[in-house]
């Protein structure tokens, strides 16, 4: 019984033990590595399952990746670059395991198995290239150990030691250069993104300010037209009354026609006054909206940047954008109608529980 349990607890041949990992390796990365070593490569190839469609190159590629991972496990986690430890290695391991799972699920009865086989081979090649080009150069200790073990007595000569030291220094220098380049690019990208946000906010704010100035000038022009048209309309109404007023007690059809013409002229004059007043109110309303949006956009970046948490910043950014592009009440135009903003049309259908688009 004890012997059976001991046999079951033995890891698969060639797998990585906890002692094989250098200090600092996270548990999720270790689990990903052990999952990679747990695949049966004969099953992955699938000769009996797929026949001519089998993945003949997959076992060799996976073995090469396993060798790179085994060498890489000797490196302390803290010595690896941030782009590698920040999710790069774990993401590639997950992509590799998902590809191998898909290879195991593929059969000759699957839909379009030939195209699916080519797609999986391409995915495996992409992951393999990443491990060759990115991960393998970081396995410095394994390379040194192999160079040391090349001598039968295990004692390298002084020349070999100098070569090893030179190779190590060269690799360390290249790793430091890569880290500095990545940090510099990240800093430049962040600075560029910040400058673009600020310039975009300034440009959009300037657009709304020019719009507010144009609406203010139009409102002044319509106000002048209203001030001028009001006395002219009164004078026209008085003149029309005096010219077209029928005689007292007259019942001639010509007199009734004149009365109708007078009422029509009065209606036209009243309509002109209403047009001037309405256009004045509309332009004042648009001026107030443009000023409000310009002021909101000018402070948008500072408000969003003041929040440190990414998730909260996204929620604040969405709320501020919705507030900026919403139709505000200014008291100049009736706002009782139902309005849907541009932000609501773009975002609301994708929100869970909104009931829109279902």
Count of positions (residues) in the chain: 358
Q: Are 106 and 116 in contact (CB under 8 A)?
A: yes
Band (358; pLDDT cuts 50, 70, 90) = very low
CA distance 230 to 235: 9
* Residue bearing the bigger pLDDT, 106 or 13: 106
Residue 19 gets which letter from DSSP?
A: G
DSSP letters, 109-137, are TSSSHHHHHHHHHHHHHHHHHHIIIIIGG
DSSP letters, 87-106, are IIHHHHHHHHHHHHHHHHH-
pLDDT score for 8: 41
Residue 348 gets which letter from DSSP?
A: G
Per residue in 245-294, pLDDT (tens digit) is 666 555 565 666 666 777 777 788 888 888 888 888 888 888 888 888 88
Per residue in 108-157, pLDDT (tens digit) is 888 888 888 888 889 889 988 988 888 888 877 666 666 556 555 555 56
Burial of residue 65, with CB atoms counted within 10 A of its CB: 0-12 exposed, 13-18 middle, 19 or more buried: buried
pLDDT score for 115: 87
CA distance 295 to 212: 11
Give every CB contact of residue 110 below 8 A, 6+ residues apart in sequence. 116
Burial of residue 338, with CB atoms counted within 10 A of its CB: 0-12 exposed, 13-18 middle, 19 or more buried: exposed
297: number of Cβ within 10 Å: 22
267: number of Cβ within 10 Å: 10
Around 164, how many Cα atoms within 13 Å sit in the side-chain half-sphere? 18
Among residues 85, 39, 103, the alpha carbon closest in space to that of 66 is found at 39
* Crossing angle of the two packed helices 89-105 and 58-72, in degrees rounded to 10: 150
Q: Are 139 and 71 in contact (CB under 8 A)?
A: yes
CA distance 92 to 168: 26
For all residues of the chain together, what is the average pLDDT?
A: 75
Per residue in 72-116, pLDDT (tens digit) is 888 888 878 887 878 888 888 888 899 999 888 888 888 888 888
CA distance 190 to 234: 65
* Conformation bin of residue 40: beta by default, left when phi > 0, alpha when psi is -120 to 50: beta
pLDDT score for 238: 75
Helix H or strand E segment including 48: helix 47-50
Give every CB contact of residue 263 below 8 A, 6+ residues apart in sequence. none
pLDDT score for 16: 65
């Amino acid at each position: 019984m004890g012997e059976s349990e001991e046999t079951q607890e033995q890891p698969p041949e060639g797998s990585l033990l906890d002692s094989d990992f250098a200090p600092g390796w996270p548990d999720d990365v270790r689990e990903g590595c052990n999952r990679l070593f747990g695949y049966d490569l004969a099953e992955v190839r699938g000769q009996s399952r797929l026949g001519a469609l089998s993945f003949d190159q997959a076992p060799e590629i996976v073995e090469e990746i396993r060798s790179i991972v085994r060498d890489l496990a000797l490196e302390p986690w803290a010595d690896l670059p941030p782009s590698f430890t920040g999710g790069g290695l774990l993401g590639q391991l997950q992509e590799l395991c998902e590809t191998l799972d898909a290879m195991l699920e593929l059969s000759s009865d699957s839909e379009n198995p030939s195209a699916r086989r080519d797609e999986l081979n391409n995915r495996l090649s992409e992951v393999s290239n990443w491990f060759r080009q990115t991960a393998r150069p970081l396995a410095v200790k394994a390379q040194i150990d192999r160079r040391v073990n090349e001598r039968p007595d295990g004692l390298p000569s002084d020349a070999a030691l100098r070569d090893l030291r030179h190779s190590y220094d060269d690799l360390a220098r290249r790793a430091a250069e890569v880290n500095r380049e990545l940090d510099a690019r990240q800093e430049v990208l962040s600075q560029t993104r910040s400058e673009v946000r600020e310039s975009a906010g300034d440009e959009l704010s300037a657009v709304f300010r020019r719009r507010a100035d144009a609406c203010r000038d139009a409102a002044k022009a319509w106000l002048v037209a209203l001030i001028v048209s009001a006395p002219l309309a009164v004078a026209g109404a008085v003149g029309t009354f005096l010219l077209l007023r029928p005689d007292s007690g007259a019942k001639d059809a010509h007199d009734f026609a004149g009365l109708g013409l007078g009422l029509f002229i009065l209606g036209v004059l009243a309509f002109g006054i209403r047009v001037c007043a309405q256009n004045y109110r509309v332009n004042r309303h648009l001026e107030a909206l443009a000023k409000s949006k310009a002021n909101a956009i000018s402070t948008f970046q500072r408000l969003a940047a003041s929040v440190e948490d990414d998730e909260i910043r996204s929620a604040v950014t969405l709320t501020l954008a919705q507030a900026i592009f919403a139709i505000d009440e200014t008291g100049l135009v009736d706002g009782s109608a139902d309005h849907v903003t541009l932000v609501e049309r773009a975002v609301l259908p994708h929100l869970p529980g909104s009931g829109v688009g279902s």
